[in-house]
Amino acid sequence: MNISKNNYSNIFDLPNEILFIIINKLNTVDVIYSLADVNERFVQLVFDPLYIQNLNITLMTMKSFYQRTFSIHEQVLSNICENILPKIHDQVKQLAIEQHSIERILTYNYSQLYSLSLVNFKEEILYQYLTDYSILRDLLTQQITHLNIDIQSDEIPKLLSKISLNIFTLILSLCQRLTNLNFCQLFSYRNSFISIYYLPKTSCTY
């Protein structure tokens, strides 16, 4: 059976609606890094306000069910921070970031940001950021209404540690606008004793 070459399609033949569905199924880091410079059409898709308003700058590698690491290659992170974020930071409404990239990513002013996910942070480092890092503290105090905290752990703890309780207390102290808090339960393989809270606007004071 002879099949004409004209019967074969490539990704450029797909309508934008289908491409957008595909892009939404892929990791955000991979999409931004790989497609942002392909051509003008992909630039428009990648920088569509509906897509970039929810920006997940995390990359997970799964070794086993309980061993998952988060790390973005330095070259990829540099490209995102230097070439992508300056163009879109004022359109981002939801942001997910990792421990090692927080300072480089939060350099920009996210004026519309209301949801922040801090993913795979060590307890001690997260506590230090919440205590000393003014950019994060200002965001939590002035803008964030939805906060997700994922604590790095190699095993399932039976009880929350003292420092995790201190982190939780500090969050409640800092966040004046917080209405939704998800603490240590971003991933199903991690057990949490503080799950999802729906907080009245007046419950957090500074």
What's the CA gap between 2 and 5, in Å, rounded? 9
DSSP 201: T
What's the CA gap between 142 and 59, in Å, rounded? 28
> What six digits make up the tokens of 60?
């997970």
At 117-168, the pLDDT tens digits run: 999 898 999 999 999 999 999 999 999 999 999 887 655 555 567 888 899 8
> What six digits make up the tokens of 149?
């905290």
What stretch of H or E contains 198?
A: strand 196-198
**Of 97-106, 119-128, 134-143, 193-202, which range is least confident?**
193-202
The answer to whether residue 6 scores a pLDDT higher than 70 is no
Closest CA to 88 of 105, 68, 71: 105
Domain total in the chain: 1
Residue-level pLDDT at 64: 46
Written as one letter, the residue type at 66 is Y
Closest CA to 55 of 5, 112, 7, 11: 112
Handedness of CA 72, 185, 117, 169 (dihedral sign): negative
In a domain, 21, yes or no: no
Q: Can you point out the beta strands (E) in 65-169?
A: 68-70, 94-98, 115-121, 146-151
In a domain, 95, yes or no: yes
In a domain, 175, yes or no: yes
Q: Which residue has the tokens 């990648």?
A: 46
Residue 90 belongs to domain spanning: 52-198
In a domain, 38, yes or no: no
Cα-based distances in Å from 181 to 21, 43, 73, 172, 186? 29, 34, 29, 9, 11
Q: Which residues are CB-contacts of 33 (< 8 A; sequence separation ≥ 6)? A: 76, 79, 80
Q: pLDDT band at 115, cuts 50/70/90?
A: very high
